[in-house]
Structure 1
Amino acid sequence: MNDIRKKYLQFLYPKYSKFFGMITALEDEKVRKRLRSQLLEWLDTLPVYGFNSSSYDINVIKKYLPQVLMKYNKKHGNVSKSEKLWIRSIEEELGRNIEQSKRIGRYNADGYDGETNTVYEFNGCFFHGCRKCYHPDDVNPHTGDKMNVLYEKTMRKEANLNQMGYDVKPGVEATKKLCNFFQSLNLDMHKDGISIPGLTLKYLWNTKDHECGPSIVFHHYHERNKTRIRGGKLCQKILGYDANALYLWALSQDMPCGEHKMIEPYPDILEDVMNGSFFGEIECDIAVPEHVKEHFAEMPPIFKNTEIQYKDLSSDTKAQVKPNYKSKKLIGSMFGNKIIFPTELLKWYLEHGLMVSNITYAVKYERKAPFKSFAQQVSNERRAGDTSPDYKLRGEMMKLMGKSSYGKCITDFLKHETVKIVGPNNYNKNVRRVKDYIGHQDLVDGFEFRFKKTAFKQSLPIQIGFQVYQLAKLRMLQFYYDFVDYYIDRSDFQYCMMDTDSAYFAISGSSLQDVVKPHLLGEFKQKRQVWLERDDTLENKLYDSRTPGLFKLEYEGDCIISLASKMYYYDEKKFSSKGINKGKMKLQNTSI
């Protein structure tokens, strides 16, 4: 490995000589030193490729690490996951899983698709003798073979697999396209991050042109011409709407930016929340007044985590669990104590008649939408991927980046650990660290110790992740109370289930427009596109299907059975059974 590193540096340094010259020409000595140090550190990072190395290879070689570390005592670069990304991109495109490390005869295939009898080979340049990257007579220091020999072995393997009836697809070209995609975002896929979340975070906070859920069952069963809506009209249709890129929509909204300011609660603070002059987070008690509880009865608007005990369960559920049952759940409630709300959600609560009291503290931020352009770029790349196969990979990568952005912001550093590889002489010293000691593992000529982190730098904007999750809840509340409940009389619909970004409900007509209140039909047609994707033309439908925050019709059918959170059934092709392998289930509505 050290020989590889030396050759890597000898090859790379001359290519960057002009940049060292530019740095040397700078007048400020501190700036010269800083930039030179940064460039040297970047050049010294050696990407190492390995398929599933984090899961398999590292665990195999871990017991020998003390010997190697004591011998070389040197930090090494990050490990790239480009192979995983490549396989994942293929799975996303195909819509099914690919069998990895498939043994075919005497060969080991990187990926295998049994439905099409296709073999996927990543074919990394270093171990397969890429002729564009290496001279044929160069010797691979790891295998001892010449690059030309490795290349010929790779070609023979592909030829033999093709003769055996397999369709072999190498991945060098796909990997190059992946690198080019991230390069277009001014990111080095190998050095700026070893995962989509890492690359996304780098992109989020360094792009120069920035401008600037619950899963609940409401009703267990509805079926066409069999059940009645709230005991009245017959059910005629089940509709299921799904919010496009709900979290990406939330990320594109106004975010708490700048330095936070702790504000002592003052008498008119709620008025300032209503008029928008106070933007940030407020901790308070909140409750639904008695006179509007009936209005909020079907979908209680206050979402909170609470402990559910045996006494809180229905008689049917009690029969399935033990008397000492306890579980923490996210529920909808009519009240909440000492809950932190973003002011945008709090404003909606106040507008709909909820009562706020006991404001314990408030935090003020600047109101900006720094990620709006990021959300637009994700949407545009996905639209391009829908219309052209050449942009398919870009669309899928931007989809992953869009999903990674908000979750990465709320990484829980408290769950991180410090890992130390030590020699035999340091065993007693480390095992006595009672306060932060978690455990250790015996290795060859040493030990691996795991400790709790005694301190960490909170370098992530956790307020962004918090804001995203809260605004996502706000959007689902708006869909129910400001759209469905506003345009449709409650005698004509009944909510059955919601699952983070989707809502399913029964109606008494054949379509949503059929049950709209007659005096609001004109307004509904005019403002429909504010809530739902357009379906007047195929072009508009495709465009709106990638617009964050719009709701699309995900399901239209005759039956729904909602047993519990994440456990529901619509038909043989669409059902959820959390914790149970779908492949082993043959469900029908009669069995449920």
Structure 2
Amino acid sequence: MMIRKGVYPYDYTDGPAKLEETQLPSKEDFFSTLTGDHISDEDYAHAQRVWKAFECKTMRDYHNLYLESDVAILEDIFEDFRNICLKHYGLDPAHYFTSPGLAYDAALKTTGVRLELLSDPDMLLMLERGTRGGVAMISHRHSKANNPYMANYDSTQQTKYLTYLDANNLYGWAMSQPLPTGDFEWVEPEEIDGILSYSDDNEYGAIVECDLEYPQDLHDDHNDYPLAPENVEINKVRKLVPHLGKREKYTLHYRNLKMYLDMGMKLTKVHRIIGFKQSPWLKTYIDLNTRLRAAAKTDSEREFFKLMNNSVFGKTMENIRKRVDVRLVTTEKQALKLVAKPNFDRRVVFTENLVAVHMKKTKLKFDKPIYLGACILDISKLLMYDFHYRFVRKTYGDRARLLFTDTDSLAYEIQTDDFTRILRHTCRKNSIRPTIQPSTPPASPPA
């Protein structure tokens, strides 16, 4: 009876007087204005059983029992959470504010890696400019399926399939690739040919700042999903834009540069190169959580181990520049004093006697390996572009149109007589391709 979440009339209990009532409120009194719902008959029956079993005399008795059981359940859950972390990572989550902080330390402790921090401000700024998120765009706004799996299939028209594909664990895959660990140094631009000969798992890697051109003869073929997306300011808002124009002082991972050149883009100038030592050091941690998730016996454990992989990526993307100091003030004099300072950002008024004043940091300590986030984001694009150009376009040519994409997903219109048969056949012959699979299999064809 007490191992489930209790039932409480939050809105009804609006003052101490309600706690002196000698009977359980009616079912209607358990209505929640927050959710806009009444409780179920089952929940109300549970509340009645609790009232009777624990011989509650007043609502105060029920109130105290509810709080005690709620805290006890939370305590059990949190202690179980602590035990899991201590068992698998040797870390106590009670010492952390957020899951990214816990996951990041767990990754460092599990792998034993020692990451070098950047000390050259020019390297830092170059890597910040090269940090770009996932591509989200609509290439074609309208498409209509027509295939034998549909009830209204028209055999006189072109057979078309619409499919939504999702990359399984995209960032987990990228984090398992060779990533920088240290030995950062400037490399002469003349060394670019040697860098382009590096293998994907070479002991050393590089970040390149260069100029690129998109040849005119690639425009039609690449129009749906242009390579090398660029952060562009549009109407005073920075947006990640895939386009077919030139790239100037474009910063990217050497593996991305190799792919883009292999697909036809032209390298016109190399400005700067940062060399570094690399290894797939994070793979040990990613694989550990993948195994633990597969062996988990509850949904909460499975979600936790998934979170521990996703959260460590979030920590590699931490932007120190966005940190703020928040001062709570209770007088006009205090507020005006802070507002007058040059690092004042904004204020949030809670009441006439309480205001939160947001102040920008006057000093920043860049003590995070931001190069990890930049490399993970770039490397993740390799899989998406590889799948689109070397699988979908290679298999279907102009019969495949990319409708839209959002970071780790791709939606296509494909003209073929039997899309599912061809997809399965081609996936079996490509080891990397099954990492992207249809989110929802097509329904069985009509009888």
Is TM > 0.5 for Structure 1 vs Structure 2? yes
Aligned to 2:242: 332
Is residue 216 from structure 1 mapped to residue 137 from structure 2 by the alignment?
Answer: yes
Match of 1:436 among 343, 351, 374: 343
Q: Aligned equivalents of 1:275 and 1:337: distance in 2?
A: 23
Tell me if structure 1 keeps the 8 A contact 2:209–2:273. yes
Task: Say whether 1:478 aligns with 2:386.
Answer: yes
Q: Give runs of aligned pairs for residues 137-148 of structure 1, distance below 5 A.
A: none
Q: Say whether the 8 Å CA contact 1:118–1:168 is kept in structure 2.
A: no
> Residue 172 in 1 paired to residue 75 in 2?
yes
2:433 equivalent in structure 1? 531
State the one-letter code of the partner of 1:507: I
Aligned to 2:226: 300
Q: Compute the displacement of 1:308 (Å).
A: 3.7
Structure 1 counterpart of 2:305, which letter?
A: M
Q: Tell whether the 8 Å contact from 1:240 to 1:556 is kept in structure 2 after alignment.
A: no
Instruction: Return closer, same or farther for 1:444/1:225 CA change in 2, 3 Å cut-off.
Output: closer
Query: Structure 2 vs 1, CA of residues 449 and 458 (structure 1 numbering), >3 Å: closer, same or farther?
Result: same
Alignment counterpart, residue 239 of structure 1, candidates 163, 170, 173: 163
Q: What CA distance in whole angstroms lies between the structure 1 residues aligned with 2:112 and 2:80?
A: 24
Partner of residue 359, structure 2: 451
Distance (Å, rounded) in 2 between the aligned partners of 1:195 and 1:100: 29
> Which residue is equivalent to 2:439?
554
Please state whether the residue corresponding to 1:457 is helix, strand or coil: coil
Offset at 1:408?
Answer: 1.7
Which segments of 5 or more consecutive residues in structure 2 lack a partner in the other structure?
Answer: 20-29, 45-60, 116-133, 148-155
* Match for residue 375 of structure 2 among 467, 474, 481: 467
The whole-number CA distance in structure 1 between the counterparts of 2:344 and 2:138 is 43
Which digits, 9 at most, give the CA deviation of each residue in 1:230-258, with x for residues without a partner? xx982432111100111121111111111
* Paired residues for 1:147-546 under 5 Å: 156-157=65-66, 170-184=73-87, 185-191=89-95, 193-208=96-111, 213-225=134-146, 234-266=158-190, 268-276=191-199, 279-308=205-234, 327-334=237-244, 335-385=246-296, 388-389=297-298, 392-419=299-326, 431=338, 434-438=341-345, 450-486=358-394, 488-509=395-416, 511-512=418-419, 514-515=421-422, 524=426, 526-532=428-434
> How many Å separate the matches in 1 of 2:367 and 2:8?
36
Offset at residue 210 of structure 1 (A)? 6.0
Q: Is 1:237–1:557's contact at 8 Å kept on the other side of the alignment?
A: no
Shift of residue 434, structure 1, vs aligned partner: 3.2
Q: Which runs of 5+ in 1 are unaligned?
A: 1-86, 91-98, 120-151, 162-166, 227-231, 310-325, 533-549, 559-592
Contact 1:216 1:499 in 2 (8 A): yes
CA contact (8 A) 2:8 2:66 kept: no
Which aligned pairs between 1:29-48 and structure 2 lie closer than 5 A? none
Q: CA RMSD in A?
A: 4.2
State the AA in 2 paired with 1:303: P
Please state whether the residue corresponding to 1:300 is helix, strand or coil: coil
The change in CA–CA distance for 1:235 and 1:287 in structure 2 (over 3 A counts) is: farther
For 2:143 and 2:208, how far apart are their aligned partners in 1? 40
Compared with structure 1, are the counterparts of its residues 173 and 329 closer, same or farther at alpha carbon in structure 2 (3 Å cutoff)? same
CA deviation profile, 1:455-487 (whole Å, cap 9, x unmatched): 12111110111111111222110110111112x
Give the 3 Å change call, closer, same or farther, for CA 525–480 of structure 1 in structure 2. closer
Contact 1:409 1:460 in 2 (8 A): yes
1-structure distance, mates of 2:289, 2:136: 26
Give the deviation of 1:333 after TM superposition: 1.4
Number of equivalenced pairs = 375
Q: 1:400 to 1:477 in 2, by over 3 A?
A: same
CA contact (8 A) 1:240 1:553 kept: yes
* Aligned partners of 1:342 and 1:470 also within 8 Å: yes
User: Following the alignment from structure 1 to structure 2, what is the Cα–Cα distance between the partners of residues 155 and 429?
Assistant: 44
**Aligned equivalents of 1:259, 1:274: Cα separation in 2:** 20
Secondary structure at 1:490's aligned position in 2?
helix
Measure, in 2, the Cα distance between the counterparts of 1:451 and 1:211. Answer: 33
CA apart distance, 1:181: 1.2
- What TM-score comes out, normalization by structure 1 length? 0.55
Assess if the C-alpha contact under 8 Å between 1:287 and 1:336 holds in 2: yes
Q: Which residue of 1 aligns with 2:26?
A: none
**What CA deviation, in whole Å up to 9, does each residue of 1:548-577 have, x standing for no partner?**
xx112103559xxxxxxxxxxxxxxxxxxx
Aligned equivalents of 1:225, 1:448: Cα separation in 2: 57
Aligned mates of 2:330, 2:264 — CA distance in 1: 65
Letter in 1 for 2:81: L
> What amino acid is the match of 1:187?
L
Distance in 1 between the 2:143 and 2:209 partners?
39
Equivalent position amino acid for 2:163 in 1: L
Q: TM-score with structure 2 length normalisation?
A: 0.71
CA distance in 1, matches of 2:208, 2:326: 38
Deviation at 1:200, TM superposition (A): 1.2
Distance 1:444 1:398, change over 3 A: same
3-state SS in 2 of match to 1:344: helix
